[in-house]
Structure 1
Amino acid sequence: MSSAAVRRRERRISPVFLAVLAVMAAAGWGVWTDFAALPGVAVFLFVTSAWIVSLCLHEYAHARTALHSGDVTVGAKGYLTLNPFAYTHAVLSVVLPVLFVIMGGIGLPGGAVFIDQGRIKGRWRHSLVSAAGPLANVLFAVVCTAPFWLDALDGVPAAFRYALAFLAFLQVTAALLNLLPVPGLDGYGIVEPWLSYELKRKIAPYAPYGFFAVIVLLFVPVLNGAFFDAVDALLRSLDVGVLDRACGSALFRFWEGTPPGCPL
């Protein structure tokens, strides 16, 4: 097989990702048209599938940037196919974030794809590879909030507006959490190339626990309040109101019942 054919195969979009996209499109149509008997079920399917799509795009952004930065091995690993099952940390990258969305309604950052750091030359390139994932979440949030800050909500069904607001909330929380300079998260990957060798050597043993430390710290009331105040301020600046986000979260967890303050 020629090298060109190998590259095409390595970059062919996975049927798994296309199936997730199809679910997202069908559920989105169901939310928009109010086709479903239970709108909460359609919102649940739409937000969950869209969240998985964003997770795939997050990891793809890492891999694609690494490819253009010198790591030509990402294609053989399946990272360029957008297949969620191709990632080296599938549980951290997809399963755990989806479970946290379902249980707690927070956009938890996933584990990064495996990058051959030795093939990437230059500190700026290393930082950019780490930054690419959170930037994908930022772009996804911009798309979700566009109808709000463009004042283009006329004609948008209430349930769809709520779903977009909640999805934007998930993207913003994921981006902010992932940008924290904590070992194991992308924020640390951005600053790590600029640290001294001695400091990196001292931090390395704690890297596997950084991800879980962030989860634990979110249960500290003061830190939890400060974090969600920052999320709220960002979403307000994008004209996404608290009521829309709350109603989107309530519809998403349809098994708890939709509160009367969320008109459909």
Structure 2
Amino acid sequence: MTAYDRPGDGEPLVLGVPRAALRPSPVFLGLVALFVTCGVLAWQGAGNVRLAVFGFVVTGWLVSLCLHEYAHAVVAFRAGDRSVAHRGYLTLNPLKYSHPLLSVVLPVVVVLLGGIGLPGGAVWVDRHAIPGRLRHTLVSLAGPATNVLFTLVLVAVLRLVAPGGGTLEFWAGWALLAFLQLTASVLNLLPVPGLDGGNMLQPWLSPPYRRMYDLFAPYGFILLFALLWNPAIGERFFGGVFAVADLLGLPSGLYALGLDLIRIWRP
């Protein structure tokens, strides 16, 4: 089959799937539009600035979640799994995710309450359709790689553009988005069963360890919370994240202000 095929009376196909399955959804485009609108209002300091920063950070985080999961799906699609297209994962529509509560609602709640970029398990990949262990690892790596890229771009823009204009509130929200991407990068790369970091290693495990991994994978989120709840582990983890943020030149006072601004229920 060629890369592009057109059946006699149907919709054009790309790699065997309808082109509509590859277009960004109106839901995603709406999120992007709201993100840009809130960003402009925060930049100008127009109206209720705290509400603008709240919308800017929340929609920005949701857009990054969509792109994180899209990265998983598009790499899986290129590796041979066509089911991700038929499930709507390549449209960037968060409502198509297999667990909207875990993938969208819970991460946003954790952002608002704890200021942590929590990873969300969202897209289901047909691993049997993907040959080779390296491809499986690349599928799992694709999501965290987007978070790392976002972190570097957001920090670079903050350091290069921030002195040139905009309000303090806008850049506080921007810095918070960068910090959220940083925490998401680190959390997603942890070798915890069920998370991306663990899934990157799973194909390379011996059969007995792989069976043990698959047994614990559904409880990855619970295991993650248990680890971070431990004072010694949690302190070291966040200490490491803060150290990386300082190394990148991300001002701690600025993203702390951003976190305070999005908690609009506080006076």
Report the TM-score, using the length of structure 2 for normalisation.
0.92
RMSD of aligned residue pairs (Cα, Å): 1.5
Q: Which runs of 4+ in 1 moved over 6 A?
A: none
Q: 1:147 deviation in Å?
A: 2.3
Note if 1:44 corresponds to 2:59. Answer: no
Does the residue aligned with 1:163 lie in a helix, a strand or coil?
helix
- Of residues 218-227 and 26-35 in structure 1, the stretch that sits farther from structure 2 once superposed is 218-227
Hey, what does 1:123 align to over in structure 2?
133
What's the CA shift string for 1:207-264, capped at 9, x where partnerless? 111211111322222212111111111111221111111111111113224xxxxxxx
Q: Deviations over 1:140-190 (max 9, x none)?
A: 112211123436533232111111111111111111111111111000111
Q: d(CA) in 2 for partners of 1:109 and 1:153?
A: 32
Correspondence for 1:29 among 33, 40, 45: 40
Distance 1:11 1:151 in 2: 34
Instruction: State the one-letter code of the partner of 1:8.
Output: R
- State the aligned residue count: 256
* CA distance in structure 2 between the partners assigned to 1:111 and 1:40 by the alignment: 30
Q: 1:179 aligns with which of 171, 189, 211?
A: 189
Distance of 1:203 and 1:65 partners within structure 2: 23
How far apart in 2 are the matches of 1:153 and 1:236?
Answer: 18
Q: Which residue of 1 aligns with 2:98?
A: 88
1:191 aligned to 2:201? yes
Percent of aligned pairs with the same amino acid:
48
The equivalent position to 1:64 in structure 2, one of 74, 77, 81, is 74
The one-letter code sitting in structure 2 at the alignment partner of 1:31 is: A
Which one of the candidate residues 84, 88, 97 is aligned to 1:74? 84
> 1:100–1:108: 8 Å Cα contact kept in structure 2?
yes
Compare 212-221 and 64-73 and name the one that shifted more: 212-221
Would the aligned equivalents of 2:202 and 2:213 in 1 still touch at CA under 8 Å?
no
d(CA) in 1 for partners of 2:11 and 2:28? 26
8 Å CA contact retained: 2:44, 2:166: no
Q: Say whether the 8 Å CA contact 1:31–1:160 is kept in structure 2.
A: yes
TM-score (norm 1): 0.93
Q: Distance in 2 between matches of 1:79 and 1:100?
A: 24
The answer to whether the 8 Å contact 1:148/1:238 transfers is no
Query: Alignment partner of 1:74: what SS?
Result: helix
1:204 aligns with 2:217: no
The structure-2 alpha-carbon separation of the partners of 1:92 and 1:13, relative to structure 1 and needing over 3 Å to count, comes to same
Does the Cα contact within 8 Å between 2:112 and 2:259 map onto a contact in 1?
Answer: no
- Letter of the aligned partner of 1:61 in structure 2? A
Q: What is the distance in 2 between the residues matched to 1:73 and 1:171? A: 28
Q: Does 1:233 align with 2:243?
A: yes
Q: Which amino acid in the other structure matches residue 39 of structure 2?
A: G
Distance 2:19 2:161 in 1: 41
**Contact kept in structure 1, 2:144 and 2:184, CA below 8 Å:** yes
SS, match of residue 218 in structure 1? helix
Give, as a single letter, the amino acid of the residue that structure 2 aligns with 1:200: R
- Structure 1, unmatched stretches of 5+, are 258-264
- Larger displacement relative to structure 2 (219-228 or 244-253): 219-228
Q: Describe the shift of the 1:151–1:82 C-alpha distance in structure 2 as closer, same or farther (beyond 3 A).
A: closer
The answer to whether residue 24 in structure 2 is matched with residue 13 in structure 1 is yes
- Does the CA contact (< 8 Å) of 1:17 and 1:82 recur in 2? yes
Instruction: State how far apart, in whole Å, the 2-side matches of 1:74 and 1:176 are.
Output: 26
1:170 matched residue in structure 2? 180
Alignment of 1:145-160 (within 5 A): 145-150=155-160, 152-160=162-170
Give the partner amino acid of 1:14: S
Q: Which runs of 5+ in 2 are unaligned?
A: 1-9
